[in-house]
């Protein structure tokens, strides 16, 4: 998994220097030393699965995970870009859930 660092931690370590061109004109440039970046601890992040890619979403855009069912026991409608702590990536395209039971979309 890739490592991520917090932007604010990098910006705290920036230094402003003046860079001169061939004509002697100077411009301020912000720099951060590689050693300073390497010293910043990795951020605590985890990948998310968007509802559009989740195995619990059905073809109508409803989430069939037991934690997302409404009071009647039916799946709640969710937005495609929404995500939650229960998301699991769908095994392949066309694989949907219907009221908690997995099925292929092309099997009706």
| Number of alpha carbons in the 13 Å side-chain half-sphere of residue 98 | 9
Is the predicted pLDDT of residue 8 greater than 70, yes or no?
yes
Show me where the domains of the chain are located: 7-39, 51-107
Mean pLDDT of the chain: 78
Q: How confident is the model at residue 19 (pLDDT cuts 50, 70, 90)?
A: confident
Name residues whose C-beta falls within 8 Å of residue 50's C-beta, 6 or more positions apart in sequence.
80, 81, 82, 83, 87
Q: What is the pLDDT, as a whole number, of residue 105? A: 47
Percent residues over pLDDT 90 in the chain: 3
Is the predicted pLDDT of residue 39 greater than 50, yes or no?
yes
Name residues whose C-beta falls within 8 Å of residue 46's C-beta, 6 or more positions apart in sequence.
none
Tokens of 35: 């050693």
- Tens of pLDDT along 21-36? 888 888 888 899 999 9
């Amino acid at each position: 998994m890739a490592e991520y660092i917090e932007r604010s931690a990098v910006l705290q370590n920036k230094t402003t220097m003046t860079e001169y061109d061939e004509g002697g004109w100077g411009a301020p440039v912000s720099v951060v030393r590689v050693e300073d970046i390497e010293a910043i601890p990795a951020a605590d992040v985890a990948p998310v699965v968007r509802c559009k890619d989740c195995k619990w979403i059905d073809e109508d855009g409803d989430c069939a995970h037991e934690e997302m069912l409404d009071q009647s026991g039916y799946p709640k409608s969710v937005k495609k870009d929404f995500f939650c702590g229960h998301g699991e990536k769908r095994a392949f395209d066309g694989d949907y859930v219907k009221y908690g039971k997995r099925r292929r979309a092309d099997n009706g």
